[in-house]
């Protein structure tokens, strides 16, 4: 009986693990349940965040111009072939590679960099800055965008199919990117009225290419070009969004629709391609489709999503709200079929066929247990009351859902660094009041961490074979960002000194990435040196097997040290939105728990 009560306490405390760490740390408001956003302050930072979402390490990386689309359009199949993220640089010959992009190359331990485009697109100054960090750097570029597309195609291998898209606009090639990459097809660029000789000669020289797909309408690629290609099929429509849907329909069997990506596909500047390019590489890696949209969702896109019935699928929006507003993200998710009852809610049902389940569902035995009922009461109105979240009481006898409602979107640890960057940009320095504001923000973050460390929440979480609790674990890593007194608190004096020292070096808010990289490295080293071969995380003595958010795995005891180091940081100090359905599997078939988390409106 005592053991059963212990498991119940463990399970309901795991709910707090998921909610407390996210509710007190995330500063991003969700547009809707099941919607994630991956974005930075600009396209270059967004590219690094996209890379972080899909790769914890990578032997290869693609670097392309982030301001001109011409040579970059064909990079997605190349990225897929090398399991590589796409990172961006400016085309300014007076500049080296952006510091946050260099940091990402180091973070991912990249050994080979492929630069797409000639010196007029990616100058030698950028190559030289890369070579200072990565010895193997290759440039793939031609005399123009058309020859570059051929040179990239030659690197992919011996394809039997190819995609032909306009080199005079970016939308059609971006729509085709993930599908082409997943199916091993190069993207060859063409003019509207004539197929460039370099492209024509490539197709003639590769007789194994027996199928081609022409992307876009006749205004993009003429019928005369289509008729000159082997077994050509046009995938197009009246608008770029119609074309995007035509591609999604044609290659529907190639995609896993459990998750979908959305990126901006149009805009006033004519270069709003970057997020779709870098995100397309991630979508291709995961086998997911990419939807392009404007500031409103098109009727073609809306109809397609409703037709597919993607109620249980997640949506990841690429870029900030300035690119795709939350309202548009909500519209897209709504058309996907965003039901009011997410998987696992209401009746404690399955979390979805894509998520493996360990043992029996624990929801029913938990919500009817007196320990859980008292815990919920104390959390909502009693001694554990907090300003961040509540857990819905289970009034009905048949109600076995564990439903968490966030009460506010609070400041994140990342905001400490971003706020400092914004203050610095105003005057080119930090004033005494600015520095005090940074310290105050750190104090607030520490107050939230104290809530996380409460013994009824994460106080009984142990990490590694040495069974250290969370605050002892963080204090013992050797990270200068944390005090070593066992409190688990951030060191505000070190953080202030680090920010004031590093800000003049960078023109982007890279301080948080430096902090996160330091913490990730320290955690990885801890597990490498720990006597346990695996990453062991226990709660009240019960070992966690894995944690899923919707259909995305957040933690797995069988992953490598490096992977779990990154994932553990993401759980402790998340920067993504938290609404969704969480499945917690205990090891050794000890059972599983399903929790629904709702963001504030």
CA–CA distance, 443 with 411 (Å, rounded to integer): 12
- Domain assignment present for residue 568? The answer is no
106 and 230: one domain?
yes
Q: Domain end: 319, 337, 355, which one?
A: 337
Range with lowest mean pLDDT among 13-17, 250-254, 297-301, 308-312: 13-17
Q: 531 pLDDT exceeds 80?
A: no
For residues 372 and 489, state if they share a domain: no
Question: Do 377 and 237 fall within a single domain?
Answer: no
Sheet holding 112-116, edge to edge: 86-89, 60-65, 112-116, 136-140
Q: Which residue has the higher pLDDT, 506 or 368?
A: 368
Q: Which residue has the higher pLDDT, 508 or 232?
A: 232
Between 118 and 532, the higher pLDDT residue: 118
Characterize 327-357 residue by residue with b for buried, 16 or more Cβ atoms within 10 angstroms of its Cβ, and e for exposed.
Answer: ebbbbbbebbebeeebbbbeebeebbeebeb
CA 148 to CA 472: how far, in whole Å?
54
Q: Do the domain assignments include residue 248? A: yes
Average pLDDT, the chain: 79
Indicate if 326 and 427 belong to the same structural domain. Answer: no
Give the pLDDT mean for 492-501: 88
- What 3-state class would DSSP assign to 555? strand
Last residue of a domain, one of 305, 337, 369: 337
Q: What is the mean pLDDT of residues 313-333?
A: 89
Better pLDDT: 382 or 199: 199
Asked whether residue 566 is domain-assigned, the answer is: no
Triad 147, 42, 86: Cα angle to 5°:
40
Could you tell me if residue 155 is inside a domain? yes
What was the pLDDT predicted at 600? Answer: 53
Percentages helix, strand, coil for the chain (3-state, rounded to 5) are 40, 15, 40
The 10s digit of each residue's pLDDT in 46-61 is 999 999 988 988 999 9
pLDDT score of 414: 73
Does residue 241 fall inside a structural domain? yes
The residues near 502 (Cβ < 8 Å, ≥ 6 apart) are: 510, 511, 514
Could you tell me if 194 and 99 lie in one domain? yes
Model confidence at 601: pLDDT above 60: no
Q: Mean pLDDT over residues 364-393, rounded? A: 74
Give yes or no for residue 459 having a pLDDT over 60: no
Strand partners, 161: 211
**209: confidence class by pLDDT, cuts 50, 70, 90:** very high
Is residue 319 located within the same domain as residue 385? no
How many residues appear in the chain?
601
Q: Which range of residues forms the domain containing residue 593? A: 2-30+342-409+546-557+574-598
The residue-averaged pLDDT of 507-522 equals 71
- What's the pLDDT score for residue 575? 52
DSSP 503: G
E-only strand ranges, 91-178: 112-116, 136-140, 161-166
Quick one: 118 and 243 in the same domain? yes
Is the per-residue pLDDT at 98 higher than 90? no
Q: How far is CA 482 from the centre of its chain?
A: 26
Q: Please identify, among 337, 358, 389, the residue that sits at the C-terminal boundary of a domain.
A: 337
Higher per-residue confidence, 70 vs 148 = 148
Number of folded domains that form the chain? 3
Q: Is residue 315 in some structural domain?
A: yes
The whole-angstrom separation of Cα 530 and Cα 149 is 48
Q: Point out which residues pair with 262 in neighbouring strands.
A: 291, 317
Instruction: Please indicate, yes or no, if residue 535 is contained in any of the structural domains.
Output: no
Task: Determine which of 299-308, 348-357, 464-473, 479-488 has the lowest per-residue pLDDT on average.
Answer: 348-357
Q: Is the dihedral of CA 52, 57, 62, 64 positive or negative?
A: positive
- C-alpha of 346 from chain center: 28
Give the per-residue pLDDT at 291.
Answer: 97
Pair 553, 520 in one domain: no
pLDDT higher for 72 or 342?
Answer: 72
pLDDT above 80: residue 114: yes
Residues 234, 176 share a domain: yes
SS3 259: strand
Are residues 403 and 426 located together in one domain of the fold?
no
Which has more pLDDT, 168 or 405?
A: 168
Cα–Cα distance for residue pair 11/53, rounded to 1 Å: 28
Q: Does the pLDDT of residue 569 top 80, yes or no?
A: no
Sign of CA dihedral 584, 585, 590, 596: positive
Compute the distance between CA of residue 144 and CA of residue 332 in angstroms, rounded to an integer: 37
How is 31-90 classified by DSSP, letter by letter? SSTTEEEE--SSHHHHHHHHHHHH-S--SEEEEEESS--TTGGGHHHHHHHTT--EEEE-
Q: Determine, yes or no, domain membership for 217.
A: yes
Indicate whether 506 pLDDT > 70. Answer: no
Q: What is the DSSP string of 358-397?
A: -SSB-HHHHHTSHHHHHHHHHHHHSTT--SSEEE----ST
Query: pLDDT tens-digit profile of 395-437?
Result: 665 677 778 776 655 456 777 887 777 777 777 788 888 889 8
Residues 129 and 55 in one domain: yes
Same domain, residue pair 50 and 10: no
Asked if 512 and 442 touch (Cβ cutoff 8 Å), the reply is: no
The pLDDT tens digits of the residues spanning 340-354 come to: 233 333 333 344 446
């Amino acid at each position: 009986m005592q053991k059963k009560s212990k498991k119940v306490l463990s399970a309901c405390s795991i709910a707090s693990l998921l909610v407390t760490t996210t509710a007190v740390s995330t500063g991003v408001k969700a547009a809707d349940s099941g919607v994630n956003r991956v974005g930075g302050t600009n396209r270059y930072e967004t590219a690094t965040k996209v890379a972080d979402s899909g790769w914890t390490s990578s032997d290869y990386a693609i670097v392309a111009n982030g301001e001109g689309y011409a040579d970059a359009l064909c990079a997605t199949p190349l990225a897929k072939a090398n399991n590589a993220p796409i990172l961006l640089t400016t085309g300014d010959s007076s500049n080296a590679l952006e510091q946050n992009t260099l940091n990402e190359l180091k973070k991912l331990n990249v050994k080979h960099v492929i630069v797409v485009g000639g010196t007029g697109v990616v100058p030698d100054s950028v190559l030289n800055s890369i070579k200072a960090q990565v010895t193997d750097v290759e440039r793939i570029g031609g005399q123009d965008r058309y020859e570059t597309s051929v040179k990239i195609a030659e690197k992919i291998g011996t394809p039997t199919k190819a995609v032909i898209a306009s080199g005079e606009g970016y939308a059609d090639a971006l729509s085709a990117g993930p599908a082409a990459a997943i199916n091993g097809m190069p993207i060859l660029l063409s003019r509207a009225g004539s197929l460039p000789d370099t492209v024509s000669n490539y197709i003639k020289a590769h007789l194994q290419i027996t199928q081609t797909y022409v992307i876009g309408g006749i205004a993009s690629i003429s019928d005369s070009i289509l008729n000159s290609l082997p077994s050509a099929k046009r995938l197009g429509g009246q608008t770029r969004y119609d074309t995007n849907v035509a591609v999604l329909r044609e290659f529907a069997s190639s995609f896993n629709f459990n998750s979908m990506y959305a990126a901006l596909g149009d805009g006033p500047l004519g270069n709003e391609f970057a997020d779709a390019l870098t995100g397309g590489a991630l979508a291709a890696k995961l086998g997911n489709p990419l939807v392009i949209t404007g500031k409103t969702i098109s009727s073609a896109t809306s109809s397609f999503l409703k037709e597919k019935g993607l109620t249980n699928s997640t949506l990841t929006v690429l870029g900030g709200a300035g690119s795709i507003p939350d309202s548009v993200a909500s519209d897209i998710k709504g058309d996907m079929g965003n039901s009011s009852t997410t998987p696992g809610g209401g009746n404690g049902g399955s979390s979805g066929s894509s998520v493996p389940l360990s043992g029996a569902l624990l929801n029913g035995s938990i919500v009817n247990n007196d320990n859980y009922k008292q815990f919920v009461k104390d959390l909502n109105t009693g001694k554990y009351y907090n300003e961040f979240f509540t857990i819905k009481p289970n009034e009905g006898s048949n109600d076995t859902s564990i439903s968490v409602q966030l009460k506010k979107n609070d400041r994140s640890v990342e905001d400490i660094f971003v706020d400092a960057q914004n203050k610095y940009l105003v005057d080119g320095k930090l004033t005494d009041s600015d520095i005090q504001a940074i310290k105050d923000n750190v104090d607030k973050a520490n107050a939230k961490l104290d809530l996380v460390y409460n013994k009824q929440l994460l106080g009984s979480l142990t990490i590694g074979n040495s069974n250290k609790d969370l605050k002892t674990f963080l204090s013992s890593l050797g990270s200068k960002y944390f005090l070593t007194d066992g409190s688990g608190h951030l060191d505000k004096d070190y953080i202030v000194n680090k920010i004031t020292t590093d800000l003049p070096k960078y023109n982007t808010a890279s301080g948080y990435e430096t902090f996160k990289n330091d913490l990730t490295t320290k955690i990885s080293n801890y597990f490498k040196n720990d006597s346990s071969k695996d990453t062991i995380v226990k709660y009240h003595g019960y070992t966690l097997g894995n944690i899923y958010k919707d259909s995305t795995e957040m933690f797995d005891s069988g992953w490598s040290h490096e992977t779990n180091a990154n994932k553990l940081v993401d759980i402790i100090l998340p920067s993504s939105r938290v609404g969704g359905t969480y499945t917690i599997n205990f090891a050794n078939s000890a059972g599983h728990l399903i929790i629904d988390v709702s963001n504030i409106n």
